Amino acid sequence: MSNLLLEVKDLRISFQTESGTNDAVRGISFGLEKGRALAIVGESGSGKSVTALALTRLLPEPPAKITSGQIFFEGRDVLKLSSAELRKVRGGGISYVFQEPSTSLNPVYTIRNQIAEAIRLHRPEVKTIDAEVVRWLDAVGIVNPAQRMNDYPHQLSGGMQQRAMIAMALSGHPRLLVADEPTTALDVTIQAQILNQLRDLRKQFGMSLILITHNFAIIRGLCDDVAVMFRGEIVESGPAEEVLKNPQHPYTRALLDCIPRLGANRDRLHTIDYSKLVVP
């Protein structure tokens, strides 16, 4: 039997705009094995988040349209599922953590109510809801979870809001967690804590992870594999350590060269010279 949890084949996504059709994703293919972590890396506008949202058909249609391709999750093509089948995949099979927890959390409900709703939806067999909420808040490192679960989102710091979002995403026992730039809005200390938490939780619960990021620096030690996206295409992919040590595509090398390094003799930060890239 195949060990693939997710397989994307020749996925193409376009957006209809006033100036015409914009091909945001152009025939990408990749797979993710059970228990492994994949980083999809690229600059803003490369198609990373669009790809992530397409996995559970969360793209707004219109203006977005999946023009071709297949997305197999646990052997079933997501693009052919009924609405009822798709609801079971969202949250229970594939769950998301987004960049801005302040816009993802509902400001008028307590953290307890929001996590409890996810538990009831995806794990109706759970009877001790409060105990389960406390367990997940504790798992993501929130101190005094029995007390803090009664807080509203605005009463939590940015880092704690993101931890609460992770707790909510994991409370449905997903087999795949998609983290879309989950630490961009946080300071570097909290960023490191959240990334370490994701790594530990992935190993603890045996789930797979897709990390969407523009920053190569954060994937070392967290992701097994890397897919580099440039202008809607995957231009390079492979084991993370191999890509980091020996990048083959000029865009990958340019991204890596933009990472600031302590002790580097530079008068200014490097930027990407697009004139030297093969533009599709």
Q: What is the pLDDT of residue 7?
A: 95
How many CA atoms lie less than 13 Å away from 128 in the CB half-sphere? 5
Q: pTM value?
A: 0.89
Which of the pair, 272 or 174, is modelled with greater confidence? 174
pLDDT beyond 50 at 280: no
Write out pLDDT tens, residues 96-127. Answer: 998 877 778 899 999 999 999 999 988 889 88
Q: What is the pLDDT of residue 17?
A: 84
Reference 228, options 202, 191, 254; nearest CA is 254
Write out pLDDT tens, residues 91-101. Answer: 889 999 988 77
pLDDT beyond 60 at 264: no
Element (H, E) at 34: none
Write out pLDDT tens, residues 137-174. Answer: 998 889 999 999 999 999 998 889 989 999 999 998 89
